[in-house]
């Protein structure tokens, strides 16, 4: 199983707040960003560092730095952009691409309407963002498009995941590691995650 779950009391506490239907837009949006930062730290645990020489107020010393220009974040519109601020705080110089997909309410399959990547996307490690991994359709389509553009290293970050979505990514893209704050019970008949937290996009942007 190529999925890592953040098992942490603070994450559990934050999840309980955003799952609550009475949590307002501002707090919901802020906590999505906070959890995204935690996910980013975990996803970067295998990052390669370069040794450099710096000078502290005391003396010269060797230090290790991340080449931030080797990374790109790709939020799946529109809910994925709600995670973006949390990752930019961690790696501010990463480039950003966007994928626009929406779900057909009858077939529950993703339909693409926008795709814009940095010119050198093939040379970057890409972190795909979407708060909810439900059926896995949008995630798999996005990963496929990135691979067609030559991207070799892709990670997927989400706040909540359904077993069905995890299974689909693992079957179609077994090389992509998934980082999530929670694996929930299942999908319901409308392909929403149970217990989930509702429509993440609507709750992030206050559109419902």
Active site residues: 103, 107, 199, 202
SS3 assignment, position 66: strand
- Measured CA to CA, the distance from residue 78 to residue 201 in angstroms comes to 6
What is the four-CA torsion angle of 35, 95, 165, 204, rounded to 10 degrees?
A: 50
The answer to whether 199 touches 167, Cβ cutoff 8 Å, is no
- Measured CA to CA, the distance from residue 161 to residue 15 in angstroms comes to 13
Strands 193-194 and 186-187: antiparallel
- Measured CA to CA, the distance from residue 199 to residue 59 in angstroms comes to 53
Sign of CA dihedral 10, 165, 100, 18: negative
SS3 assignment, position 25: helix
Strand partners, 51: 64
């Amino acid at each position: 199983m190529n999925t890592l779950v953040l098992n942490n009391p603070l994450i559990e506490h934050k999840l309980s707040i955003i799952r609550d239907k009475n949590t307002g837009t501002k707090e919901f949006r802020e906590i999505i960003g906070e959890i995204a930062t935690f996910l980013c730290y975990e996803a970067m645990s295998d990052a390669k560092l370069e040794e450099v020489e710096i000078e502290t107020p005391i003396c010269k010393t060797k230090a290790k730095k991340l080449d931030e220009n080797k990374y790109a974040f790709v939020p799946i519109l529109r809910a994925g952009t709600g995670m973006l601020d949390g990752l930019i705080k961690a790696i501010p110089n990463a480039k950003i691409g966007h994928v626009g997909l929406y779900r057909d309410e009858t077939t529950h399959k993703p339909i693409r309407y926008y795709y814009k990547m940095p010119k050198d996307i093939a040379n970057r490690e890409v972190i795909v963002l979407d708060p909810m991994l439900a059926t896995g359709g949008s995630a798999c389509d996005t990963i496929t498009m990135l691979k067609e553009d030559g991207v070799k290293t892709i990670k997927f970050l989400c706040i909540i995941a359904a077993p069905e979505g995890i299974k689909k990514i693992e079957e179609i893209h077994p090389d992509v590691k998934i980082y999530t704050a929670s694996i929930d019970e299942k999908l319901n008949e409308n392909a929403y995650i149970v217990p989930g937290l509702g429509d993440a996009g609507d709750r992030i942007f206050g559109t419902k």
